[in-house]
């Protein structure tokens, strides 16, 4: 009886120890997941007058934004949409991978015979569009009204 009790205690202790280790591993997993870079961006899609969709970009445009940007484009684009307008008023950070994403988006937009326009770029981000020569192919405007007007122009 006492041997069985001792055996039970031993088993209990082992289980406790295993549980502790499991919790430790879970904690490490949680920490690592938090350390892993994730998309720090939201993109809301609005349909405005005519056949124009606006994507409101808020946060960081980096390689991690690829899924969010392409999802937003799919949502913004259907057979009737002639132009996609990116609203960069909420853009907080952009690296060179973010520029690469915009090139990929532009190629998709061109393939669908749509236009890609932007507004709300700060002086700093306008300068980056000039450095990378994205401004050769993506229309930059001061306001949403101006961008939508340009999108609706022939």
Residue 80 contacts other proteins per CB under 8 A = no
Task: Decide the pairing of beta strands 41-48 and 139-141.
Answer: unpaired
14 vs 96 by CB, closer to other proteins: 96
CB of 7 to other proteins, least distance (A): 38
Identify whether the C-beta of residue 80 lies closer than 8 Å to the C-beta of residue 52.
Answer: no
3-state secondary structure of 50: coil
The single residue among 14, 17, 74, 96 that binds other proteins, judged by CB under 8 A, is 96
The single residue among 50, 59, 90, 100 that binds other proteins, judged by CB under 8 A, is 100
Residue 42 contacts other proteins per CB under 8 A = no
Residue 94 contacts other proteins per CB under 8 A = yes
- In what side-by-side order are the strands of the sheet with 83-94? 41-48, 52-61, 83-94, 115-119, 139-141
If you compute the radius of gyration of the chain from its CA atoms, what whole number of angstroms results?
25
Q: What span, in angstroms and rounded, lies between the C-alpha atoms of 63 and 103?
A: 12
Residue 93 contacts other proteins per CB under 8 A = yes
Residues found near other proteins in the complex (CB under 8 A): 32, 35-37, 92-97, 99-100, 103-104, 106-107, 122, 124-125, 127-128, 130-134, 136-137
């Amino acid at each position: 009886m006492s041997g069985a009790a001792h055996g039970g205690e031993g088993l209990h202790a082992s289980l406790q120890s295993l549980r502790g280790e499991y919790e430790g591993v879970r904690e490490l997993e949680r920490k690592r997941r938090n350390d892993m870079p994730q998309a720090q961006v939201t993109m809301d899609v609005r349909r405005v007058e005519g056949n124009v969709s606006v994507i409101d970009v808020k946060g960081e445009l980096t390689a991690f934004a690829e899924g969010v940007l392409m999802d937003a484009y799919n949502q913004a684009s259907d057979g009737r949409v002639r132009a996609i307008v990116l609203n960069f008023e909420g853009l907080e950070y952009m690296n060179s991978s973010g520029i690469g994403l915009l090139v990929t988006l532009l190629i998709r937009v061109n393939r669908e015979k749509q236009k890609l326009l932007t507004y709300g770029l700060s002086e700093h981000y306008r300068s980056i569009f000039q450095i990378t020569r994205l401004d050769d192919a993506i229309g930059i405007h001061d306001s949403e009204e101006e961008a939508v007007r340009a999108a609706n122009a022939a």
